[in-house]
């Protein structure tokens, strides 16, 4: 999941690199047209607010809030996710 305020990562406990309370730099690339030749790259820093696990602690999910993101990237992500103009 990704929107203009947060990103969520999911994975297996054996190779899950994110820790609750830590901050990470993230590079996201989005295809703008049907061809991968036209894309947009968004760089953010995010803080892992909470790591959730299933009862067996095998499947993990990290809920992260952006701590740094460019204003034009907020607008881009909002419009990409909602299909509405960012005002």
Please write the tens of the pLDDT for every residue from 16-30.
999 999 999 999 999
pLDDT at 31 over 90: no
Q: pTM for this one?
A: 0.86
pLDDT digits 0-9 by tens, 36-87: 678 899 999 999 999 999 999 999 999 999 999 999 999 999 999 999 998 8
Q: Alpha-carbon distance 5 to 14, whole Å?
A: 28
């Amino acid at each position: 999941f990704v929107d203009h305020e947060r990103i969520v990562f999911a994975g297996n406990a054996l190779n899950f690199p994110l820790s609750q309370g830590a901050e990470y730099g993230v590079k996201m690339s989005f295809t703008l047209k049907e061809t991968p030749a036209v894309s947009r790259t968004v760089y953010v820093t995010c803080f892992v607010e909470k790591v959730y696990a299933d009862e067996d602690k095998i499947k993990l999910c990290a809920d992260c809030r952006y701590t740094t993101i460019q204003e034009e990237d907020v607008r881009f992500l909002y419009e990409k996710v909602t299909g509405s103009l960012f005002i």
